Amino acid sequence: MNCRGDGTKAVLFSLLLTFIVINLFGPFSINADFFQFDVEVGFLGSGKTVLHFPPLGKAVADTHLPPLDFHFSLVNIDLDKATEAAADVSGPQLWDNVVQQAGNYLIMYVLFLLMLAFALGAAGYVLWMRRNAALKDIVISGAVSLLVLLLLLAAAAVSYDMAAFSEAEYVGIIEAAPMVLDVLGEGMGVIEDIGVQFVEIAENITLLREGLKDNIDFEKGEDTVRILHVSDIHNNPTAFQFIEKVAGIYKIDAIIDTGDLVDYGTALEMEFLGNAASFPVPYLFIPGNHESPVVVEHLKAVENVIVLENGVVEVAGLSIAGIADPSSFSSRMSVADEEIMEEAALTLREIVKSAGEVDIVAAHNPSLFKYLREEGHLLLGGHLHNPYVVKGAGFIEINAGSTGGSGIRGLQNLEADYSLVLLTFRRENKDCRYRPAGADLIRVKHFPFNFSFERFFFN
């Protein structure tokens, strides 16, 4: 009987068992201050580190020698805790604390893996040899599994190259990350400059409006309601400065946002753009194709925001019918296919028909108005990033364009315009209903920084 040969086979079996079990083992959770993420080790890899950012995608970099792969998945960021921590310590110190805590957890994870390797190596030897396993050989088999894993981890640690992330491969929505980082690296000064120039634009709009007063009676009164129509902010913080300045000039009664407040449909973006709650008037929001269920639920929890997904609401004395973009019910950003959009258009028509009379019909994508360009309807949309006011045969259609100047994309090339529309409604004595009296379309160009003002009258 070849006991030595059996012993060698038992050790090899133990190593195989160790690698299989660890490869299938669940993630190890790490709580580093306000970050929570999972870490996993994969065997038979090619020396990659994979950073998962659900639902945005992942970043993959060739960081170390094979055969191990490391997977890190972001689970949660406690934004309240992050805010408190940022108030107590400086940015560099805050990051150092996170790195230190994460490092301590990683050491614990490595120790856990080594102990698991020893246990699996010993168990594998016993399973192979059955009753012929001596205690000494069991310990040696466990030690071999531990040492092999230790050598693999050490090789990965010694060869690990953080600079490899500069050439990382991005998969999914996050593939826009390099562009975003470049823009933000160079563009924060642009954002600040735009904010300052919005103040100058607001002053010029005020002067222009004062000049119009003498010739055009568009003043705010008891029989007047003013609605500010915005759309497609796309994570641009300067959009809210634009809205705030115009809202202050016109003393608006409500804001209607026809969608695409964010870019990627994550709750983190909503924390960044929580400015909608700061306005002293109702903020009616119709979700666009860049929204997601998590964003919509977040907005529903904001006291000042009214989310209109399907139906009719009354805001500032006006009856408003609307429907959410079909893509907002999932995490995908693409426009829904033709069949789904057709169904949504028919649903919107039925909503309006069932309501009897409405003052405004709102949706993100103007294609949903295909059955409503009649019977005097006032239609408010976005999506196209191209503002317009159209007085058609039996309808008025208004598109606010992009109040965020197309977001990050606009900051990248400075070609897109900021735009919004101020709507004025007047109450008619004959039926006490508000009717659209006119609209002011305001556009602000990125470069050279200037604005245009167009006034439209509705009979």
Contacts by 27-31 with C-beta closer than 8 Å and gap 24+?
27/71, 27/73, 28/105, 28/109, 28/112, 29/75, 30/102, 30/105, 30/106, 30/109, 31/101, 31/105
Length of the chain in terms of residues written: 459
pLDDT at residue 212 tops 70: no
* DSSP three-state, residue 287: coil
Q: What is the SS3 assignment for 398-418?
A: EECCCCCCCCHHHHHHCCCEE
Phi, then psi, of 59 in degrees rounded to 5: -120, 130
Cα gap 35→32, rounded to integer Å: 5
CA–CA distances in Å: residue 192 to residues 203, 268, 358, 404, 411: 18, 22, 40, 14, 12
- Between 398 and 18, residue with greater pLDDT: 398
Kindly report which listed range (136-145, 168-177, 349-358) carries the lowest average pLDDT score. 168-177
pLDDT-based confidence at residue 129 (cuts at 50, 70, 90):
confident
pLDDT in tens, 106-116: 889 899 999 99
Relative to beta strand 57-62, strand 48-53 is: antiparallel
pLDDT band at 317 (very low <50, low <70, confident <90, very high): very high
Residue 251 has a pLDDT of: 87
- State how far the alpha carbon of 413 is from the alpha carbons of 318, 347, 419, in Å: 39, 38, 17
- Would you place residue 28 in the very low, low, confident or very high pLDDT band (cuts 50, 70, 90)? confident
Residue 199 burial (10 A CB sphere; 0-12, 13-18, 19+): exposed
State the pLDDT at residue 298. Answer: 86
Per CATH, the homologous superfamily of domain 186-457 is Metallo-dependent phosphatases (3.60.21.10)
Q: Where are the domains of the chain?
A: 3-167, 186-457
pLDDT at residue 29 is higher than 80: yes
Q: Cα–Cα distance between 18 and 43 in angstroms, integer?
A: 10
Residues 137-153 have pLDDT tens digits of 889 999 999 999 999 99
Mean model confidence pLDDT for the chain:
81
Beta strands across the sheet bearing 224-230 = 305-307, 283-285, 254-257, 224-230, 417-427, 434-445, 450-457
- Lowest mean per-residue pLDDT among 7-11, 18-22, 215-219, 297-301: 215-219
Q: Which helix (H) or strand (E) holds 120?
A: helix 91-129
Which pLDDT does position 271 carry in this prediction? 64
- 307: which residues sit within 8 A by CB, 6+ positions away? 285, 286, 287, 296, 299, 300
Start-to-end CA distance of the chain, whole Å, equals 104
Measure the CA–CA gap between 249 and 282, rounded to whole angstroms: 17
pLDDT for 373-422, tens place per residue? 999 999 999 999 999 999 998 899 999 999 987 665 555 555 567 899 99
Q: What is the mean pLDDT of residues 290-297?
A: 89
Q: What percent of the chain has pLDDT over 70?
A: 76
- Cα within 13 Å of Cα(375), Cβ side: 13
Question: What are the tens digits of pLDDT across the range 246-258?
Answer: 888 788 999 999 9
